[in-house]
Amino acid sequence: MPFQKTIKSEITLSGIGIHTGKKINIKLIPAQRDTGIVFYRTDKGVPVKAKLPFVIDTSLATTIGIDGIKIRTVEHLLATLYAFGITNLIIEIDGSEVPVLDGSALEFAKTIMKTGTAKQGKTIPLFKITKPFLYESSRSRIVAKPYKGFKITYKIFYEHPLILEQSLSIEINEQIFLREIAPARTFGFLKDIQYLLQNGFARGGSLDNALVLDEKGVVGGKLRFRDEFVRHKILDAIGDLSLVGYPIKGHFIIEKGGHTAHINFLKHLIESGYYELEEEPYFNFQLSTQAV
């Protein structure tokens, strides 16, 4: 089993929320063993654990919350913490959305690399897939299989000449995440912007924090990878899967996924019992009234 980890010193970051359009400040604070990943809304005085029972919305981002208090777009930061093996952290945030920064996880990753992590002298159980498990919805298909490490195979399909069908199968560890996944930016389509704005989304979106596509290609920018779109989907999936609260051992094959599919898949996987953990996890979806 891996050791629990936190960061060596505090980290402060600021940026715009891609959906709220508001400036937000966050502070990552080292935490004691067995704390877990906990967001703390400093403007509300409310803590919320980054665990599956506290997911309250999956519309275009993953949102956690409790008693009407929410934190949106947690997936990029959570993916980074997972990739670096950080299991204990307090995240102070003065608004309702994690800053999008440049639309990727690269700044989160580089800042944590610079600060460093610290082992805490206590192990954490592994969440191991023990039997193949299939989840299907009207548009998505996700399979989990036993595997010695943590691997994601992702396939996407978009009727756009720059994307069409993209797929990537990749083992997830700190080095691969930093090099191959963290730089991949969120993306959207110019034709959808008016609808998104009218429905309370993308108010902070810009060419500085997202890949925007018109009918032919990327507007005002260049791709970091030829298949940057599927790489970003893998980034999102890592963040969503991390909400089980433990390091994962398994191979996840995802077709036409998204935040809603990822979270629904996790809930059904937990209910199936096709996993193994050395101690009983907290997965009570009905009694999620206490965040810490």
> If 0-12 CB within 10 Å is exposed, 13-18 middle and 19+ buried, where does residue 268 land?
middle
Q: Of 72, 71, 77, nearest to 112 (Cα)?
A: 77
Please check whether residue 104 is in contact with residue 79, taking contact to mean a CB–CB distance below 8 angstroms: no
- The greatest distance separating any two alpha carbons of the chain, rounded to the nearest whole angstrom, comes to 53
Catalytic residue, from 251, 259, 262, 268: name it: 259
| DSSP one-letter code for 52 | G
**Active site annotation includes 259:** yes
Q: Would you list the DSSP string of 222-263?
A: --SSTTHHHHHHHHHHHHHHGGGSS-EEEEEEEES--HHHHH
160 is in an annotated binding site: no
Q: Which of 239, 256, 250, 240 is nearest to 272 (CA)?
A: 250
Tokens standing for 156?
Answer: 């996407």
**Is 43 annotated as belonging to a binding site?**
no
Binding residues: 76, 232, 236
Binding residues for Zn(2+): 76, 232, 236
As annotated, the active-site residues are: 259
